[in-house]
Structure 1
Amino acid sequence: MTLTAPAAAHEAAHARELTRAELLRTEVPGPESRRLHAERLEHVPQGVSWALPVYIESGSGAILTDVDGNRFVDLGSGIGVTTVGHADPAVVAAASAQLAKLTHTLYTVTPYRGYAELAAKLAERTPGDHAKKTMFVNSGAEAVENAVKIARKHTGRRAVAVLDHAFHGRTMLTMAMNHKAAPYGTGFGPFAGDVHRVPNSYPYRDGLDGAEAAARTIAYLERRIGVGELAAVIAEPIQGEGGFIVPAEGYLPALQRWASANGVVFVADEIQSGLARTGRWFASEHFGLVPDLVLTAKGIAGGLPLAGVTGRAEIMDAALPGGLGGT
């Protein structure tokens, strides 16, 4: 990815700063971070956990500066959100210009310019050259839930299949779709029904090639669920929860071919793997995969809350007017 001139100058200035600045000015965590952490423990529930009790004041590029003046390389990127870096000049300029004009109106009541423009860009970037449409929501979990709604409406079927080791979110429906029960689902049940987990391709562990792994998954889909009941198969092209799992070559295309032949909507959850995080715009491209629906979030808006469902126009149009949306 080539940096724009302002972004390149931003990165170069930032690199020069690092060579002369002292990275750590206090112990870690410092006194102000400790004070803020005590405040957090008093006012924020423990379920909103923390990895490091260091409180951030600002960010520039890949570097975070905490409230005590200590600097850190941000290897987390907000869990794959700030992929173009913190305070990127182009992102700041675009957000500032929009805030000066309009902060919010409901697109389904009084629409505005940017929605359809971004939908057109996603139609261009997502895999496949078929006609596509996009709806936008606030978070990745919302995108997953809307994909399920759309697939069920389009097919008239109820069941949803997800892969072992999947992570799709923390809402009521997506909790039922996750592989891990703890901590994401512990004590939060009962969970949504008609969600079925099936084996994925995990060549490091199972030793199966793509065709063999696909045959195993398809056998589960046909015998444990039944094609006539299955609305959608939802897969992360590269899984990222508890390790990164890359499927065997040929696995995902074989699964997609089976889904297409049986009227099942194939959904690629690219919320974590998309937007150039794997070296291409979408991880699906590494496998020659053209999903029916593609889900985006995290890196799509440089840290601002935005997510989307992009898919085949005839599938996206299944919902009646008013059936999709949100503030």
Structure 2
Amino acid sequence: MQDFTYRIPQTRHINEQVPGTQSEALDQRRQAAVARALAPGLPGYVVDADGGILVDADGNRYIDLASGIAVTTVGASNPAVVQAVAESAARFTHTSFMVSPYESYVAVAEKLNELTPGDHDKKSALFNSGAEAVENAIKISRAYTGKGAVVVFDNAYHGRTNLTMAMTAKNRPYKSGFGPLAAEIYRVPASYPLRDGLSGAEAAARTISAIETQVGAENLACVVIEPIQGEGGFIVPAEGFLPALAQWCRDNDVVFVADEIQSGFQRTGQWFASEAENVVPDLITTAKGIAGGMPLSAVTGRAEIMDAAGPGSLGGTYGGNPVACAAALAAIDQMETHNLKDRALEIEAIIRDEFAPLLELPEVAELRGRGAMMALELLDAAGRPNPALTAAVAQRAKAAGVLTLTCGTDGNVIRLLPALVISEDTLRDGLQVIAAAIEHETATQKVG
């Protein structure tokens, strides 16, 4: 892979004491001041970041394979994004678009309408977070169809607000104790090739049967699905599943909503994961990688559907903040300029190369994903999900200076979300640390 110019050395460096004294002091302040629900995973407090590296307050350098949960796709301090943010903030930091509009909001909407799948007329609306985008996609779908029911899927993750909690499959830590949850949310099976062994057509037939039996198209406003499920385990559906589901929605006047919040903006080797099978969603939700680290999200879709919501019915004080919009335009330009979608495919090839020996281990069920959205599912000796092994691997990698994340409804998946500007040497080093951690922990569990 062609390297970029980096401000920070793109190597790991871990001091003898982790966390160091500065991070320990900061963590004491956190425990005194921050709600305990906010529990960071990294022991060090970050003071600088660039390329594929995070630097903490004590000078430790970590290889970052999390990217702020798929946010810093173009890097955590991309110079073009930094410059755009500074120039925009110097003019004005905020004026609500609903009150006094500005050009950058319109420019982001135009760009989203251009980039998202399909050549139909589109419109966009901007918000702050992924969950907010999902909620507004449902509002728009209900306004357009005049129907109320929403279908979501096993292993889905859509957010932590009241409505999106109901849509999210995993109970802990996202939903437990926070009910009652929103009504008219119906969960049906998705495609999980490793576990169900079904073809795309078979899985789609099962899903559609469940929808027709449990809900009925006459009651259904929308189907909301992640083209590659994120928090649920980076599950790639069997070929043919998504096109069949989208076709059923078209045939039955149901809005097909693709949640591309984690998979969008070149992460999977295309602008959007839906494009892998030429699926054209009616609505698409985006966030995370959209704005180089600034808070921004969007709903983009068919103009006639987007316009079903009347004037004043969508929005929010900060939605489409001008500084975030400037950052988005710069981040998208960086993706286009450096052709980062091809770089995502190069990252996938490197991950598959480094992890190929692990596939011989019985504890490694599968390496799956696309582009720079890849995952390993780990099992125990009986072939069951192994969250203990997964947590131990992530912890051992972290201690060696590599930050990665776990996921999966059963907590047994190691997920990789490197920035698309990470250097090859840095990426390979991080992957080798994870591979060594898996080999060590599997051997330890066998002895134990």
Structure 2 match to 1:214? 204
Q: 2:218 aligns with which of 228, 231, 244?
A: 228
From 120, 123, 127, the equivalent of 1:137 is 127
Residue identity in the other structure for 1:203 = P
Matching of residues 2-21 of structure 1 within 5 Å: 8=4, 10-11=5-6, 14=8, 17-18=9-10
Unaligned runs of 5+ in 1: none
Show CA shifts across 1:178-201 (max 9, x none).
010111001000000000001001
Q: C-alpha separation between the residues in 1 aligned to 2:186 and 2:193?
A: 22
Letter in 1 for 2:136: N
Distance, in Å, in 2 between the alignment partners of 1:27 and 1:65 is 15
2:146 and 2:289 mapped to 1: Cα distance?
A: 32
Q: Which residue is equivalent to 1:75?
A: 65
2:431 aligns with: none
Post-superposition CA distance 1:33-73 (Å, at most 9, x none): 11111111111111112212210011111111100011111
Q: Which amino acid aligns with 2:51?
A: G
Matched, 1:24 2:14: yes
Structure 1 contact 267–295 (Cα < 8 Å) conserved:
yes
Residues 177/2 of structure 1: CA separation in 2 closer, same or farther (3 Å cut): farther
d(CA) in 2 for partners of 1:201, 1:23: 41
The letter for the 1-side match of 2:65 is L
Contact persistence 1:26–1:68 (CA under 8 A) = no
Q: Is 1:106 aligned with 2:122? A: no
CA–CA distance in structure 2, aligned partners of residues 137 and 18 of structure 1: 34
**SS in structure 1 opposite 2:281?**
coil
C-alpha separation between the residues in 2 aligned to 1:186 and 1:24? Answer: 37
Where do residues 50-129 of structure 1 align in structure 2 (5 Å cutoff)? 50-129=40-119
Q: What is the Cα deviation at residue 210 of structure 1?
A: 0.7
Q: Would you say the 8 A contact 1:172–1:192 is kept in 2?
A: yes
Question: The residue matched to 2:151 in structure 1 has which SS?
Answer: strand
Match of 1:250 in 2: 240
Letter aligned with residue 159 of structure 1: A
Secondary structure, counterpart of 2:48 in structure 1: strand
Asked if 1:262 is matched to 2:248, the reply is no
Could you tell me the TM-score, scaled by structure 2's length? 0.69
Between stretches 142-151 and 41-50, larger displacement belongs to: 41-50
Query: Deviation at 1:237?
Result: 0.0
What SS does the corresponding residue of 2:248 show, helix, strand or coil?
helix
Shift of 1:86: 1.6
Number of residue pairs aligned between Structure 1 and Structure 2? 317
Aligned equivalents of 1:65, 1:282: Cα separation in 2? 31
C-alpha RMSD of the superposition: 1.4
The equivalent of 1:41 in structure 2 is 31
Moved more, 242-251 or 193-202: 242-251
Structure 1 residue 177 and structure 2 residue 167: aligned?
yes
Does the Cα contact within 8 Å between 2:156 and 2:231 map onto a contact in 1? yes
Report the equivalent of 2:313.
323
In 2, the alpha carbon distance for the partners of 1:100 and 1:312 equals 35
Structure 1 residue matching 2:304: 3-state secondary structure: helix
Contact preservation (8 Å) 2:224, 2:257: yes
1: CA distance, partners of 2:2 / 2:200: 34
Task: Report the alpha carbon displacement of residue 106 of structure 1 after superposing the two structures with TM.
Answer: 1.1
Deviation at 1:26, TM superposition (A): 4.6
Q: Which residue of 2 aligns with 1:202?
A: 192
Task: Give runs of aligned pairs for residues 261-280 of structure 1, distance below 5 A.
Answer: 261-280=251-270
Per the alignment, do residues 18 and 203 of structure 1 end up closer, same or farther by CA in structure 2, a change over 3 Å counting? Answer: closer
Q: Aligned partners of 1:53 and 1:24: how far apart in 2?
A: 12
2:158 equivalent in structure 1: 168
Change (3 A) 1:213 1:304: same
3-state SS in 2 of match to 1:231? strand
Runs (4+) off by over 2 Å? none
Q: TM-score, normalised by structure 1?
A: 0.94
Other-structure match for 2:333 = none
Aligned counterpart in structure 1 of residue 280 of structure 2, from 272, 284, 290:
290
The alignment status of 1:302 with 2:262, answered yes or no, reads: no
Match of 1:156 in 2: 146
Shift of 1:214: 0.4
Residue 242 of structure 1, CA deviation: 4.1
